[in-house]
Amino acid sequence: MRTVKDYLSPGKRMGVFLLLLFAVSSLRAQVPAATEIVKKADENRRGKSLYSEITMTVVRPTWSREVGIKSWSKGEDYALVLITSPARDKGQAFLKRQKDLWNWVPSIGRMIKMSSSVMGQSWMGSDFTNDDLVKQSSSVNDYTHQLEKTEKVREFDCYKLILIPKEGATVVWGKVIMWVSTTDYIEIKTEFYDEDGVLINTYNGYDIHTYGNRRLASRMEVVPADKPNQKTVMTILKYDFDQPITESFFSQQNMKNVK
């Protein structure tokens, strides 16, 4: 039985081979490198600056509570988070200036410097960590990145990425697995593992909304792996990207006065 190649001259066969090689190379070129995907996802949710208003709901088997939050950030180096409710926590603030982290507690009139050792601890009794709050560690700079494959998460086609801490990096997690949508670079799902490779928390992003020229999850849930019927939900009330904000805004004095 004759095949297609029997009807082609050697020169034509070489031409077909080169066309196929070009097609495969073009396909590969369309898939961004792992670090580029992580960087785009980070830039999508962060922007040059960001102001947000959020309701955080802490859900436990026998109770739940809500915390009102206002947050300002500028790039990776500056962040200020203000608690607006409930009344007992109102006015408490958290500040990041480069590598320095501070907590203002008005009920006791104290400014507390936070060390790197507390970054993995629960923030405000939630399933988010202090590091999640101020993003002390950088998913772009503190980890190596490997693109494993593409796969579907819920209705989204996603890049599956493996993030491993760089040697000497001050990070909370021993490994992070991230699913980022192939369109819009939305962080759809992320799994956080400890140094022994045990799954600790799973993040899921839901209810995708458009904010200016960005598409992001408007509801984010963190679910602990070993605590049934427990989770923390962040609901976005307002996102305002790329508005002018000076570095001087992020000061200890402003922590006490910001509204």
Q: According to the model, what pLDDT value does residue 12 have?
A: 54
Fold of 34-257: outer membrane lipoprotein receptor (LolB), chain A (2.50.20)
pLDDT digits (tens, 9 = 90+) for 231-255: 999 999 999 999 999 999 999 999 9
CB atoms within 10 A of CB 136: 23
CB 78 within 8 A of CB 250: yes
Q: According to the model, what pLDDT value does residue 11 have?
A: 56
Tokens 């026998």, residue located: 62
Contacts of 149 (CB under 8 A, 6+ apart): 160
The candidate with the shortest Cα–Cα distance to 190, out of 238, 139, 121, is 139
pLDDT digits (tens, 9 = 90+) for 69-119: 999 999 888 999 999 999 999 999 999 998 888 999 999 999 999 887 787
Does 202 score more than 70 pLDDT?
A: yes
Q: According to the model, what pLDDT value does residue 98 have?
A: 85
pLDDT digits (tens, 9 = 90+) for 108-132: 999 999 887 787 888 999 999 887 7
Q: What are the boundaries of each domain within the chain?
A: 1-30, 34-257
pLDDT digits (tens, 9 = 90+) for 19-59: 444 433 433 446 689 999 999 999 999 899 999 999 999 99
Question: How many CA atoms are closer than 13 Å to the CA of 214, on its beta-carbon side?
Answer: 21
Backbone torsions φ then ψ of 138, nearest 5 degrees? -115, 125
CB 209 within 8 A of CB 218: yes
Query: pTM of whole model > 0.85?
Result: no
